[in-house]
Amino acid sequence: MAFDLVFFGGTGDLVWRKLMPALFQAFRHDTLPEGGRIIGVGRDDMTDEQYRQQIQSRFEQVEGDKRPNPEEFARFASLLCYVRMDLSKPESYAALASRLAERETDHVVMYLSTAPSLFTTVCEQLAACGLNTPKTRIVLEKPLGHDLASNRAINHAVGKAFKEQQIFRIDHYLGKPAVQNLFALRFGNALFEPLWRREHIANIQITMAEELGVEKRGGFYETTGALRDMVQNHALQLLCAIAMEPPINAHADAIRDEKLKVLRALKRWTPDTLSQHVIRGQYSAGNVEGKAVPGYREEPGVSPQSCTETFVALRTEISNWRWAGVPFYIRTGKRMASREAHIEINFRPTPHEIFKSPVGQVNKLVIHLQPKDGLELHLFAQGQSKRGQGSGGATLSPVHLDLDFDKRFGSERVGAYERLLLDVLDGRLNLFVRSDEQEEAWRWVEPILRHWSTDTIGPRPYTAGTWGPSASSAMIARDGFCWSEEI
């Protein structure tokens, strides 16, 4: 299956840090289709060989056994070439068309790893020079717009050049192995489905925490913030995977139809819920792993008076029969106590207690996304009874079953970007987001953005290396629950 994969932004951070290593791993695993060519596009003036040398120098920063040895890279480098382009000039696209015409392929993938402001221009120019053929697929990186109007404008422009079946809106969280196993857990086993509803689940928590700050991306983050960067896409996609009804089959549109129903069923915001159920924060200077780190406003590229949020916690509900009344909590932030992402399904207590359960403990299922990848099922069990003590009045102890996917299936499993790139090359849309999903997510998020634009309080400060502002704990405590680390 001969293909050309074109990276617009081919000298950028995402390409060398994520996309090229993912393609190399597919090459190493022998899952990258044969007959491929990878074309980097950028403004710098360089030859194919210079581009290969640049990628090789970046690969030297890859840690451990994922770094290619010289012989491996030499074979992989034979796939790489480079085209210099100014994306604002039509004549540059003619040069790309000429390079693509050098050989016959089954399909061409255009991966837009650029600023979203360039998406419309690139798609219009691709159409103008005839590069939007039926065998072309286009991949769009997030963020796709900064609000509903800009998202619609981008989708409209892309839709004029390409059919929906040719458009792959990527969300790398959907490629994570643990998220794939979430679908398998729910729809490939009979064990949990009878319990996956309001009668048995007390609350669901989604946490996506990072120890790092904004690093060198302060300028980008100033115009984005945690709500746009993490909640509107990653968090809501995870929520959909948890809450969606079983699709009629495993086809892309069947899955995306059910996710769309969840987004449409999310409770709409009111002035009261916006004030009480949405918390924004911003990290201040502190210590992380014994090292002093600056506050957000001291980061390069950040305004000293910035009101950009680096933390969001919110509470929402889904207005349908399965989930009515069950609170869903989402929190995400930078410079937090640890780097981890997980989903916690907290079950209701037994309807009639005949044992003494541990205080504050509940049965729960924890789905770990990073850095650990696996499942934990938390139960109660009775240990050895003391002499003279019968079962009545015995105290239960918490125990858990731990399934580590890396240990069970091997640590060389397919990574998120590797899986998604292979799906693009195969034309599988299951793990990609449809335009109406994106619009519905923006429609739900926009009232929060409008509320913040008139809110005089601003983001609440939290010390770097903690779990965010105390208002986040107060929000969940009003329902009688707490975050997992607070038990």
Tell me whether residue 247 is in a domain: yes
Tell me whether residue 424 is in a domain: no
Tell me whether residue 404 is in a domain: yes
Least confident of 35-49, 211-225, 242-256, 356-370: 356-370
Q: CA–CA distance from 53 to each of 62, 110, 113, 315 (Å)? A: 15, 23, 20, 49
Tell me whether residue 427 is in a domain: no
> Minimal CA–CA distance to 177: which of 365, 406, 345?
406
pLDDT tens, residue by residue, 183-242: 888 888 888 889 999 999 999 999 999 999 998 889 989 999 999 999 999 999 999 999
Q: Is 176 annotated as a binding residue?
A: yes
- Give the domain CATH number at 334: 3.30.360.10
Going across the sheet that includes 364-370, the strands are 397-404, 374-381, 364-370, 340-347, 201-209, 328-333, 311-316, 278-284, 460-463
Residues with catalytic annotation?
234
Q: Is 84 annotated as a binding residue?
A: no
Of the pLDDT bands very low, low, confident and very high (cuts 50, 70, 90), residue 384 is low
Q: What is the pLDDT of residue 413?
A: 67
| 146 lies in the same domain as 280 | no
pLDDT tens, residue by residue, 83-124: 999 998 999 999 999 999 999 999 999 999 988 889 999 999
Mean pLDDT of the chain: 92
Residue with tokens 């010390």: 463
| 252 lies in the same domain as 152 | no
**Beta carbons of 335 and 213 less than 8 angstroms apart:** yes
Q: What is the pLDDT of residue 392?
A: 54
| 145 lies in the same domain as 214 | no
Q: 244 phi and psi, to 5 degrees?
A: -65, 155
Evaluate if residue 487 carries a pLDDT over 90.
Answer: no
Average pLDDT value for residue range 386-408: 73
Q: Is 172 annotated as a binding residue?
A: yes
Strands 364-370 and 340-347: antiparallel
DSSP-based three-state secondary structure for 166: helix
Tell me whether residue 159 is in a domain: yes
Q: Is 86 annotated as a binding residue?
A: yes
Best mean pLDDT range from 50-59, 179-188, 306-315: 306-315
| 143 lies in the same domain as 254 | no
Q: Is 426 annotated as a binding residue?
A: no
Residue with tokens 């990653």: 234
Evaluate if residue 388 carries a pLDDT over 80.
Answer: no
| 159 lies in the same domain as 195 | no
- Give the domain CATH number at 31: 3.40.50.720
- What whole-number distance in Å separates Cα of residue 455 and Cα of residue 376? 40
Average pLDDT value for residue range 322-347: 97
Residues 163, 440, 459, 452: is their CA dihedral positive or negative? positive
Evaluate if residue 411 carries a pLDDT over 70.
Answer: no
| 90 lies in the same domain as 184 | no
| 192 lies in the same domain as 130 | no
Tell me whether residue 421 is in a domain: no
Please tell me the total count of domains within the chain. 2
Of the pLDDT bands very low, low, confident and very high (cuts 50, 70, 90), residue 360 is confident
Tell me whether residue 264 is in a domain: yes
| 160 lies in the same domain as 259 | no
Q: Is 171 annotated as a binding residue?
A: no
| 148 lies in the same domain as 297 | no
Tell me whether residue 426 is in a domain: no
Q: Is 142 annotated as a binding residue?
A: yes
Evaluate if residue 67 carries a pLDDT over 90.
Answer: no
| 65 lies in the same domain as 203 | no
Per the structure block, which two tokens stand in for 469? Answer: 């502002």
> What is the span of the domain harbouring residue 366?
179-414+434-486
